[in-house]
Amino acid sequence: MERTAPLSQTQRMALLNLIKERDSIVNDKSTAPGIIEAKKRMWEEINLKFNSLYPDQQPRSTKQLKRSYDHVKRKVKDEDREFTHPKITCSHHSHTTPST
């Protein structure tokens, strides 16, 4: 199977907006009865709507869209971690002033 191009920034934003509309189900961490089936239906709906936004491009599978969403979440988490816990680097430069 040929690899598809990564989502553009516009496509990522569209995907995030579609997910945001269904956030309570898509990001539900519970194992309550029926939630797995509800998530599956939501992702199928997201997939249909996403592909209808870009009819001239190769359709994305639900699995591809989930993977893209997971990648975005991971990237945001990593950036947040970097922001809240910046790496401290040691500088081995001497702190002497240049002679004139």
Q: What is the mean pLDDT of each run of 10 residues along the chain (100 residues)?
A: 83 96 93 91 98 95 96 86 68 56
Please give the Cα distance from 4 to 50 (Å, whole number). 15
Q: What is the pLDDT of residue 97?
A: 57
pLDDT value at residue 25: 93
99 burial level (CB within 10 Å; 0-12, 13-18, 19+): exposed
- Residue 71: predicted pLDDT: 93
Q: Phi/psi at 60 (nearest 5 deg)?
A: -95, 145
Structure pTM? 0.75
- The domain ranges of the chain are 9-84
Give me the pLDDT at residue 98, please. 57
Contact 36, 92 (CB under 8 A): no
